[in-house]
């Protein structure tokens, strides 16, 4: 089946620093990747939709200047949390939609990245 990886799996950083999270589709091409965030005991909430070669679309309440998304290729999207603060500590999960080889509507999820900002 289709595999999506995320790197790093866990990161601890100091307040004010920037953190980059990578999301890769390993064995398929994905024109669309989604970034979700999950706070403890809460559901996954969509942050932004990332389309290859174009600007990301952000959900209401998500600061695009703080959460920079780059989808430079059909297999890689990155999320950069700029000037991270403790309230940004969360579990970040990406998903990718296949171009072929499965139902178009199937999203494949990465394993997630745990961010802790001190």
Residues within the interface to other proteins (CB under 8 A): 6, 32, 34, 36, 41-46, 49, 91, 93, 95, 97, 103-112, 114
The two tokens of residue 29 are: 């091409």
The two tokens of residue 69 are: 């998304």
- Nearest to 109, CA basis, from 13, 38, 16, 19: 38
Closest distance to other proteins from the beta carbon of 112 (Å): 4
Closest distance to other proteins from the beta carbon of 114 (Å): 7
Closest distance to other proteins from the beta carbon of 46 (Å): 4
Q: Which is nearer to other proteins, 9 or 18 (CB)?
A: 9
Q: Which is nearer to other proteins, 23 or 81 (CB)?
A: 23
The two tokens of residue 12 are: 């601890």
Q: Which is nearer to other proteins, 28 or 108 (CB)?
A: 108
Q: Which is nearer to other proteins, 16 or 116 (CB)?
A: 116
Residue-level length of the chain: 118
SS3 81: strand
105: left (phi over 0), alpha (psi -120 to 50) or beta: alpha
Contact 33, 21 (CB under 8 A): no
Closest distance to other proteins from the beta carbon of 45 (Å): 8
């Amino acid at each position: 089946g289709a595999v999506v990886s995320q790197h790093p799996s866990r990161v601890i950083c100091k307040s004010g620093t920037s953190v980059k999270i990578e999301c890769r589709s390993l064995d398929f091409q994905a024109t669309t990747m989604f970034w979700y965030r999950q706070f403890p005991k809460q559901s996954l909430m969509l942050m932004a939709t990332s389309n290859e070669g174009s600007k990301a679309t952000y959900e209401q309440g998500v600061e695009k200047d703080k959460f920079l998304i780059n989808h430079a290729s059909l297999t890689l999207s990155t999320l950069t949390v700029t000037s991270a603060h403790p309230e940004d500590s969360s579990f970040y999960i990406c998903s990718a939609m296949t171009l072929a080889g499965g139902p178009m509507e199937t999203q494949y999820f990465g394993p997630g990245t745990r961010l802790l900002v001190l």
